[in-house]
Amino acid sequence: MPRRRTFAAALRGLRSLDADFAPPSMAARVRNAGSRGTGSPSLIFREDFFLDSTDARGCRRIWDLLLSFAFSALSATAMTAIEHVVSVRLLQKHYGQLRALGGVSLDVERATVFGLLGQNGAGKTTLIKILLGMLAPTSGSAHLLGRPVGSVEARREVGYLPEDHRLPEYHTGPSLLDVYGGLQGLPRQERRRRAAELLDLLGLAGREKLRIRGYSKGMKQRLGLAQSLLHRPSVLFLDEPTDGVDPVGRKQIRDLLLAERARGVTIFINSHLLGEVEQLCDRVAILKKGQLALVGTVPEVVGDKSTWLVGFDGPLLSDHTWQSGRLVPSGTADLWRLTLDSAEGIDRFLGEARGRGLLLRHLERERGTLEEIYLQLADAGGPSS
């Protein structure tokens, strides 16, 4: 499904400065983002929707929107109260002398994929376990969908995939999902239907008779994901969701998660695979020694550099120092790294290039990667303990 693969990229593109460079077809896909937000009207009437209003299928989309608007009006009393799906205030957790969390405050909006990063022992799992109500915080408050964490009502709305989970080996896939569905309170038919659907979606169809004992690591991971999605939770907490899964499987899982987000599900992802986090997450937070070191959208966190990569058709450059900036070889074939003298200098640079009779073949703003930021943060204070 190539549509979905570029979805996250398109979304990120629209939100960042490069929005103008996003081709119209990409922008059109963002309409999904419009229809997924039903809880609060502010999410629906985003600029991305209007970008798309000339589309041939626009009428149907407007109809969909009206419908979903009506639904949100119906459940307005319930839903508008929930500004944030997750709301954490000054959360602390101490294990004896050890301070696992030292005053974390965090708000996460609905239908967000939220990446939680940090080194081993930074407090990621502790934070998630508090949000799931498995651990009691030492101080501070945490709410899930407006309910205090740990309450049975709050737990009804969450799905969880723990790290290093061990599914009982005597089960087959369907029997395990049936048991967990029962504990979740799903009626039998709903359990069966949903289990078959998820096993199919996660590529486990046809292995219904196999006991988990005989599963590969990737299969266990898929089944683990299936159990977390079984009851259609509003909030998903996933600890290393693609651990041990092959690249094709990873893509399947990413697509599945994005589809869940499109349904309005908020997803917490705990992962060390930074590339994947970058691809998937709308917002990230970096935990360090029990403190939030950084929170923001991926572009915000990564930040833009003031350098551009440029490439020209035409004669070789002889003069490397222009009026608008300085060009140095980038190391990549035929591309130059441009350092502008002023922030709005890109227009000056384009004019200068035209003046010199050069045809622009490539122009791209250079950006940092999550990995760079992460390593910078990690270096700053040494490994957290």
CB of 4 to another protein, least distance (A): 15
How many whole angstroms separate alpha carbon 118 and alpha carbon 124? 7
Per DSSP, what are the bridge partners of residue 27?
none
Choice between 40 and 339, CB closer to another protein: 40
- Reference 206, options 181, 174, 246; nearest CA is 174
Choice between 115 and 181, CB closer to another protein: 181
Dihedral of CA 202/181/78/88: which sign?
A: negative
Contact 115, 281 (CB under 8 A): yes
CB of 225 to another protein, least distance (A): 12
- Reference 377, options 304, 299, 295, 305; nearest CA is 295
CB of 181 to another protein, least distance (A): 7
Counts of helices then strands in the chain (DSSP H, E): 18, 14
How many whole angstroms separate alpha carbon 301 and alpha carbon 236? 23
CB of 74 to another protein, least distance (A): 7
Q: Which two tokens stand for residue 349?
A: 């640079």
CB of 184 to another protein, least distance (A): 6
For 290-368, where are the E strands, in sequence order?
291-297, 304-313, 325-329, 336-340, 359-367
First to last CA, the chain: 42
Choice between 130 and 281, CB closer to another protein: 130
Q: Which two tokens stand for residue 1?
A: 């499904």
Choice between 158 and 253, CB closer to another protein: 158
CB of 86 to another protein, least distance (A): 15
Choice between 188 and 361, CB closer to another protein: 188
CB of 48 to another protein, least distance (A): 18
Choice between 3 and 263, CB closer to another protein: 263
Choice between 12 and 231, CB closer to another protein: 231
**Helical residues (DSSP H) of the chain, grouped into ranges:** 2-5, 7-15, 24-29, 31-36, 41-44, 47-51, 58-74, 76-80, 124-131, 152-156, 173-184, 188-201, 217-229, 247-262, 274-280, 298-302, 345-355, 370-381
CB of 342 to another protein, least distance (A): 46
How many whole angstroms separate alpha carbon 162 and alpha carbon 118? 16
Contacts with another protein by CB under 8 A lie at 36, 38, 64, 67-68, 71-72, 74-75, 129, 132-136, 152-153, 155-156, 158-160, 162, 164-168, 170-171, 175, 178-187, 190, 227, 231-232, 234, 263-264
How many whole angstroms separate alpha carbon 370 and alpha carbon 377? 11
Choice between 126 and 271, CB closer to another protein: 126
- Reference 112, options 166, 36, 170, 54; nearest CA is 36
How many whole angstroms separate alpha carbon 16 and alpha carbon 19? 6
CB of 269 to another protein, least distance (A): 16
Q: Locate tokens 């499109």: which residue?
A: 262
- Cα→Cα distances 334→15, 58, 325, 357, 358, Å: 29, 42, 18, 17, 14
Look up residue 357 and give its DSSP letter: T
Choice between 44 and 298, CB closer to another protein: 44
CB of 89 to another protein, least distance (A): 21
Choice between 174 and 325, CB closer to another protein: 174
